[in-house]
Amino acid sequence: MNKKRIAIVTGAAKGIGKAITSRLISDSFFVVAVDVDDKAGKKLVTEFGKTKLSFAKVDICNEKSVQQLFEKIVNEYIEISVLVNNAGIIRDNMIWKMSVEDFDSVMNVNLKGSWLMCREAARIMKEQKRGRIVNIASRAWLGNKGQSNYSASKAGVIALTRVLALELGKYKVSVNAIAPGLIDTPMTQSLSKEVLDKLIAAQPTNEMGKPDDVANAVAFLASEQTQFITGQTIYVDGGKSIGAGI
């Protein structure tokens, strides 16, 4: 049985997930990197090496695949220290133009996928009597035009975080969320220049955050020193969530 400290990171192949993976590896975790993107996932193994990371091609919306992933991890490793639910997607549109498919797919990945991963991790961490779950929400949960699906899914992630903090507290498992603002990743690079310029101009910092800014907050919540912090949402958004909007 492998005694390494294990951290599972979903959506690990790119953007924020990759930065979280890299940071947790620097903090001496062995990372199980989960993603649907096989090609980018395999590149991670080449980049970080088999002694630091293993890649699992798993769609987090699929209950069976998620259960099989956890069965495999439990068979191979002695404990799961950290779960980071980072995988997420956007399918933006005003509600009158949004399809049910775009609503469902965002809900499925962002909320149901995180819930499925949390459920399997909770079953294990409850028995271990230790563990850390960090859910990547978004400041969009406060409400963003064109994101009725995404904002609702991320509000759900925050509610999920708060409930699990209550349910798992006495088992010494802490559950927190991070609400990033505008971060420079493939997700935001897919926005038009016009939209992106507007978003950057609206930032108090006048710039985008970097994936490492989120990874640093994850590392803090994943550390041994933060046991008494649970059910919280930490904003990593350059101050975008403060002020009265004038």
Residue 198: strand pairing partners = none
If binding is defined by CB under 6 A, does position 60 make contact with ligand NAI?
yes
If binding is defined by CB under 6 A, does position 138 make contact with ligand NAI?
yes
- Tell me how many residues contact ligand NAI (CB under 6 A): 29
> What are the φ/ψ torsions at residue 185 (nearest 5 degrees)?
-140, 175
- 150 as an active site residue: the answer is yes
167 vs 184, beta carbon nearer ligand NAI: 184
If binding is defined by CB under 6 A, does position 88 make contact with ligand NAI?
yes
Catalytic residue among 77, 150, 171, 235: 150
Stretch that binds ligand NAI, among 69-77, 122-130, 183-191, 218-226 (CB under 6 A): 183-191
If binding is defined by CB under 6 A, does position 186 make contact with ligand NAI?
yes
Three-state SS for 142-194 is: HCCCCEHHHHHHHHHHHHHHHHHHHHHHHHCEEEEEEEECCECCHHHHCCCHH
If binding is defined by CB under 6 A, does position 238 make contact with ligand NAI?
no
Q: Which of 13, 53, 165, 175 binds ligand NAI (CB under 6 A)?
A: 13
Q: Which of 31, 44, 87, 160 binds ligand NAI (CB under 6 A)?
A: 87
Tokens of 161: 């975080």
If binding is defined by CB under 6 A, does position 156 make contact with ligand NAI?
no
Stretch that binds ligand NAI, among 25-33, 35-43, 67-75, 121-129 (CB under 6 A): 35-43
Shortest reach from residue 57's CB to ligand NAI, in Å: 8
Stretch that binds ligand NAI, among 45-53, 85-93, 118-126, 225-233 (CB under 6 A): 85-93
CA 109-216-75 angle, 5° bins:
55
Shortest reach from residue 129's CB to ligand NAI, in Å: 28
Residues in contact with ligand NAI by CB under 6 A are 10-11, 13-17, 34-37, 59-61, 86-89, 109, 113, 136, 138, 180, 182-183, 185-188
Residues forming the active site: 150
